[in-house]
């Protein structure tokens, strides 16, 4: 199970407590540990439930609420307290903060503001057990942008198979966003047809909440979730940078790993994806046009102080006949190769034809082993091939 932030809330008013509760229940990275309707009882609730953070709504009785914040802050100085009020009363906000609240939010609380504040709240360390109630230590969400150095270089194959491989680790929840908006085929590679696409998310961006967002992703048997590109070509223009920014920020709260399958056009959404990524995997092959484009990309990406440190070059289809050695490629690019994926036409083309990840088709092939190694190199743990588990669900999926 994913690690979570355990939260206790107090708000005597049902009218404001319920929407806040629903908001918190929609966030996978949050565990609503305790909900209290009386300021008088909240101190005991905190003592018994030992949450990671506390939310105190001020409006039912400001004086009592502020006194409570002072009492809790004095007794549990490490417990971050978030004060909430809809009154826009500067004096009350100041008093709450002076009494020991670390953050303040205006009611009705907006999901993104809540997520931003929760991310800022310091976490209490409680050991290594990750189950709720015994002490989680949150896995920070990671975003991997996969960028091809020319058409057909293996960008989607890497994105899909890296995603499916990561999704095998039980502590990971992984989503793939197909940002090759016009011609993407991650849905074909996974044989998935969702009810929604990125276009639906863009059209509903103003009322986007966690429940809608989760409905928009379709889940593959491997555990990997997919948000497909728009079906209609003309809908591609609906998806703008700010939509993607919002989407990625929200998905980060529910998924430990996000993978972006980018187009090769350096469109505004691609650039947003690159900026929001923690790691940019540039997929290349040992041939001239691909390597020349990597050099061109490095001139752009490498000169951007924000992007340059995130770029890692992944060589795909290593082992195909070529005069260019890996060493030569490194000299041309001016950067060490991060990972090499072997050429395996049979396994990969069968997997693509059947619309399944390699894990299903050839879990033990060298290419899948190498993808598992890439997953491990990126995450530092987990994500082994898990062949027996993969076999079981895939026999069902492909039979
Ligand atoms: N390691 C590999 N070994 C053998 N074949 C591979 C390998 N990686 C990818 N391929 C094959 O290369 C072809 C192109 O792969 P893929 O669709 O992943 O590339 P892409 O960069 O996403 O292409 P596009 O430019 O269309 O987005 C596919 O037919 C796939 O089966
Ligand atoms: Mg592709």
At 118-136, the pLDDT tens digits run 888 876 555 433 333 333 3
pLDDT band at 205 (very low <50, low <70, confident <90, very high): confident
Which of 217-220's residues contact partners 24+ apart within 8 Å by CB, and which partners?
217/175, 218/192, 218/193, 218/194, 220/164, 220/167, 220/190, 220/192, 220/357
pLDDT tens across 283-304, in order?
Answer: 999 999 999 999 999 999 989 9
Name the residue of 348, 350, 354, 370 to mutate for ligand 1: max ligand atoms within 8 A of Cβ.
Answer: 348
Q: DSSP assignment, residue 123? A: P
Q: Which ligand is nearest to the CA of 264?
A: 1
Query: pLDDT tens across 247-266, in order?
Result: 998 898 889 999 999 999 99
Percent of the chain clearing pLDDT 70 (strictly above): 90
Counting from 1 in the atom list of ligand 1, the atom nearest the Cα of 261 is: 22
- C-beta of residue 315 within 8 angstroms of C-beta of residue 325: no
Nearest CA to ligand 1 atom 26: 152
Ion ligand 2 — residues with CB under 5 Å?
155-156
Predicted confidence at residue 121, as pLDDT, reads 80
Closest ligand to C-alpha of residue 319 is 1
Contact (CB, 8 A) for 398 and 186: no
What percentage of residues in the chain have a pLDDT greater than 90? Answer: 73
pTM exceeds 0.85: no
394 band by pLDDT with thresholds 50, 70 and 90? very low
What long-range pairs does 70-73 form, CB within 8 A, spacing at least 24? 70/99, 70/100, 71/43, 72/42, 72/43, 72/46, 72/100, 73/99, 73/100, 73/101
Instruction: Write down the pLDDT at residue 83.
Output: 96
pLDDT of residue 137: 40
Distances (CA, A) of 363 to 165, 192, 398: 10, 20, 14
pLDDT at 384 > cutoff 90: no
238 or 122, greater pLDDT: 238
Q: Is the predicted pLDDT of residue 235 greater than 90, yes or no?
A: yes
Over residues 185-197, mean pLDDT: 95
Residue located nearest, by CA, to atom 8 of ligand 1:
154
What's the pLDDT band for 27 if we cut at 50, 70, 90? confident
Ligand 1 atom at minimum distance from 184 CA? 27
Average pLDDT over residues 171-184: 96
Instruction: Compute, in angstroms, the gap from residue 349 CA to the centroid of ligand 1.
Output: 9
Tell how far the Cα of 369 is from the centroid of ligand 1, in angstroms.
17
Nearest CA to ligand 1 atom 14: 152
Lowest mean pLDDT among 204-213, 263-272, 329-338: 204-213
Mean pLDDT (whole number) for 233-245: 94
What is the model's pLDDT at position 124?
58
User: What would the pLDDT profile of 138-156 be if each residue is shown by its tens digit?
Assistant: 457 899 999 999 999 999 9
According to DSSP, residue 393 is labeled H
Q: What is the pLDDT of residues 333-356, one digit of tens each?
A: 999 999 999 999 999 999 999 999
Strand residue runs (E) in the chain: 5-10, 30-36, 53-57, 81-85, 103-106, 142-148, 174-179, 218-219, 225-227, 257-262, 279-284, 311-318, 337-342
> 280 or 389: whose pLDDT is higher?
280
Q: How does residue 382 score in pLDDT terms, banded at 50, 70 and 90?
A: low
Q: What is the pLDDT of residue 3?
A: 63
Judge whether residue 197 has pLDDT over 80: yes
Pocket of ligand 1 (CB under 6 A): 148, 151-157, 180, 264, 316-317, 341, 343-345, 348-349, 352, 367
Confidence at 55, pLDDT banded by 50, 70, 90: very high
Say whether pLDDT at 387 is over 70: no
Residue 183 predicted with pLDDT over 50 = yes
């Amino acid at each position: 199970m994913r690690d979570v932030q355990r939260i206790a809330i107090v708000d005597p008013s049902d009218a404001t407590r319920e929407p806040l509760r629903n908001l918190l229940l929609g966030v996978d990275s949050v565990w609503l540990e305790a909900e209290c309707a009386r300021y008088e009882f909240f101190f005991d609730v905190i003592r018994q439930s030992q949450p990671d953070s506390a939310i105190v709504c001020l409006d039912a009785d400001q004086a009592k609420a502020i006194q409570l914040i002072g009492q809790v802050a004095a007794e549990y100085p490490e417990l971050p307290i978030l004060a909430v009020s809809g009154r826009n009363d500067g004096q009350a906000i100041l008093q709450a903060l002076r009494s020991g609240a670390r953050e303040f939010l205006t009611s009705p609380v907006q999901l993104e503001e809540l997520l931003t504040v929760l991310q800022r709240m310091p976490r209490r360390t409680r050991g290594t057990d990750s189950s709720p109630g015994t002490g989680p230590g949150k896995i920070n969400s990671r975003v991997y942008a996969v960028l091809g150095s020319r058409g057909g270089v293996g960008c989607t194959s890497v994105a899909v198979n890296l995603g499916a491989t990561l999704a095998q680790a039980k502590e990971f929840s992984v989503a793939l966003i197909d940002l090759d908006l016009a011609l993407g085929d991650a849905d074909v590679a996974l044989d998935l047809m969702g009810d929604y696409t990125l276009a639906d998310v863009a059209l509903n961006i103003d009322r986007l909440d966690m429940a809608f967002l989760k409905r928009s992703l379709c889940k593959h048997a491997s555990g990997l979730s997919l948000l497909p590109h728009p079906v209609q070509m003309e809908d591609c223009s609906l998806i703008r940078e700010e939509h993607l920014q919002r989407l990625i920020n929200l998905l980060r709260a529910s998924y430990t790993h996000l993978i972006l399958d980018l187009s090769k056009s350096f469109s505004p959404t691609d650039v947003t994806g690159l900026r929001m990524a923690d790691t940019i995997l540039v997929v290349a092959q040992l041939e001239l046009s691909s390597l020349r484009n990597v050099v061109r990309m490095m001139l752009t990406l490498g000169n951007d102080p924000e992007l340059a440190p995130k770029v890692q070059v992944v060589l795909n289809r290593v082992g195909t006949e070529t005069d260019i050695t890996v060493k030569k490629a490194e000299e041309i690019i001016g950067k060490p190769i991060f990972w090499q994926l072997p050429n395996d036409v049979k396994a990969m083309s069968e997997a693509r034809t059947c619309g399944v990840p390699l894990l299903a088709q050839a879990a033990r092939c060298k290419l899948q082993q190498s993808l598992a190694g890439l997953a491990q190199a990126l995450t530092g743990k987990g994500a082994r091939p898990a062949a027996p588990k993969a076999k079981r669900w895939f026999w069902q999926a492909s039979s």
